[in-house]
Amino acid sequence: MHDVIVVGAGIVGLAHALAAARRGKRVLVLDREAHANGASIRNFGFVTVTGQEQGRVWDLARRSAAAWREIAGPAGIRIEQEGLLMVAQRPEAVAVLDAFLQTGMGEGCKRLTGGEAQGLCATVRSAAAAFFSPHDLRVESRTAIPLLARWLEEAHGVAFKRGVAALHAGTGEVHCSDGVTYRAETVFLCPGDDWATLYPDVYAKEGIIRCKLQMLRLASPGWTLPAPVMSDLSLARYLGYAVLPEADALRARLQSEASAALGHGIHLIVVQSGDGSLIVGDSHHYSPTPDPFSVDAVDAEILRQYEAVLGPAPAVVERWSGTFASAAGHSIVRHPAQGVTLVVVTSGTGASTAFALAEDVVGQIFDSQRKI
């Protein structure tokens, strides 16, 4: 009855469902949860192009941002913000920013003086320079993911079965917790950071662990953030900037001035929602099984970094944490059995890259079948 089964209804699974449905396949998506609850709804919804690693990842991000823009209208998803405002405060950060703008990835980005950055966002503090990138965008993930699933169902005939855990997937079949064996010629496994159930040996071999992130929502400050904001800490962390030779001096300065933030893997991202509230994060702590507790000292450090860039922080109205699968490299795509493909984004960039990754993976499977 189905040509394709996708396990996992996070962004990676939904992107594979879309790519398969667009090839005319009859798709069934299985998820163990009653509704989306994983990394895909806990994130910023920041579809980051600028600052992704040069080469394939940057290309995946550009194509995925285009896909979000194309899908948003038909699926009823609001694009909350467009672009990125990168604020450099330290001279070493300005050097990284300027070096980045010289690369091909800087194309279309507009360099700003500190004063021009303040003209865009009056509360920005101590900006020595900045750039505005038009390439990036933001959606509200906690509503966008359910809307995307509904659109797949209604516009592409994708079937969903929720509250059903896949226990084993082999050639042509997926055995599930409801006692049913679902059958399809092609199976995509997109279980995110759950490695206990499906092919744990693959996760172990790839050295995948979990990364825990702490996140905050602040009350509306009463002003509009013109675009998602990042600053010096991101210029030292995101690979599109961090591999530039100029980033060494920035890292050295941050080591002496922001060691607590670096120790918690904090790099500031601030985005704004439709009701004016701000999502602020994030931290990075790595463990096979991260604890579920939000540590106040980490939140306090995130808020300190916010205040250094945007001034006094409004009240915290929500706190949460999330985890994603983490390993070296952008993602893994493995074929543990004939007709079964396991896809895991291991770089914390699923919202930014999953649509294009899925297009490539699904294309390779069906295009190679066509050739046989």
Ligand X SMILES: Cc1cc2nc3c(=O)[nH]c(=O)nc-3n(C[C@H](O)[C@H](O)[C@H](O)COP(=O)(O)OP(=O)(O)OC[C@H]3O[C@@H](n4cnc5c(N)ncnc54)[C@H](O)[C@@H]3O)c2cc1C
Element (H, E) at 121: none
The reply on whether position 88 binds ligand X by CB under 6 A is no
Look at the block and give the residue holding tokens 């997926």: 174
Residue 322 contacts ligand X per CB under 6 A: yes
Residue with tokens 């300005």: 94
Binding to ligand X by residue 8, rule CB under 6 A? yes
Exposure string (b/e) for 77-91, b if CB count within 10 Å is 16 or more? bebbbbbbbbbbbbe
Report, in Å, the least distance between residue 94 CB and ligand X: 25
Specify the residue, 94 or 198, whose C-beta has the smaller distance to ligand X.
198
Judged by beta carbon, residue 165 or residue 249, the one nearer ligand X is 165
Give the CA radius of gyration of the chain: 21
Nearest Cα to Cα of residue 202 among 106, 334, 14: 334
Per-position x/- string for 140-169, each x denoting binding to ligand X as judged by CB under 6 A, each - no binding:
-------------------------xx---
60 binds ligand X (CB under 6 A): no
User: x-or-dash pattern for ligand X, window 332-371, by CB under 6 A?
Assistant: -------------x--xxxxx-------------------
Alpha-carbon torsion angle 52, 58, 62, 63, nearest 10: -130
- Please tell me the distance from the alpha carbon of residue 208 to that of residue 33, in angstroms, as a whole number: 22
CB of 6 to ligand X, least distance (A): 9
Position 240 contacts ligand X (CB under 6 A): no
Report the nearest approach of ligand X to the CB of residue 72 (Å).
15
The smaller minimum CB distance to ligand X, of residues 31 and 232, is found at 31
Q: Which among 39-47, 124-132, 230-238, 292-300 is the span making contact with ligand X, rule CB under 6 A?
A: 39-47
DSSP 338: T
Cα 127 from Cα 62, distance rounded (Å):
27
Among 18, 27, 44, 84, interactor with ligand X by CB under 6 A: 44
Record the tokens describing residue 15, joined without a space.
């992107």
Q: Which of 139, 149, 198, 254 binds ligand X (CB under 6 A)?
A: 198
Q: Which of 13, 106, 114, 265 binds ligand X (CB under 6 A)?
A: 13
Q: Please, which residue, 68 or 129, has the CB nearer to ligand X?
A: 68
What is the size of the binding site for ligand X (CB under 6 A)? 41
Nearest 5°: the CA angle 55, 204, 334 is 50
Task: Write the burial class of residue 293 (CB in 10 Å: 0-12 exposed, 13-18 middle, 19+ buried).
Answer: exposed
List binders of ligand X among 277-306 (CB under 6 A). 282
Q: What are phi and psi of 343, to 5 degrees?
A: -125, 120
d(CA 269, CA 238): 12
Asked if 42 is part of the footprint of ligand X (rule: CB under 6 A), the reply reads yes
CA quadruple 274, 39, 283, 88: dihedral sign: negative
Min separation Cβ 27 and ligand X, Å: 15
Provide the minimum distance between the beta carbon of 3 and ligand X in the complex, in angstroms, as a whole number: 19
Alpha carbon distance 330, 348 (integer Å): 8
Counting contacts by CB under 6 A, is residue 29 touching ligand X?
A: no
**Distance separating alpha carbons of residues 67 and 140, to the nearest angstrom:** 16
- Smallest gap from Cβ 310 to ligand X, in A, equals 18
Site string for ligand X, 214-233 (x = CB under 6 A): -x------------------
Phi and psi for 206 in degrees, rounded to 5? Answer: -85, -5
| Interface residues toward ligand X, by CB under 6 A | 7-13, 30-33, 36, 38-40, 42-46, 48, 165-166, 190-192, 194, 197-198, 213, 215, 282, 322-324, 345, 348-352
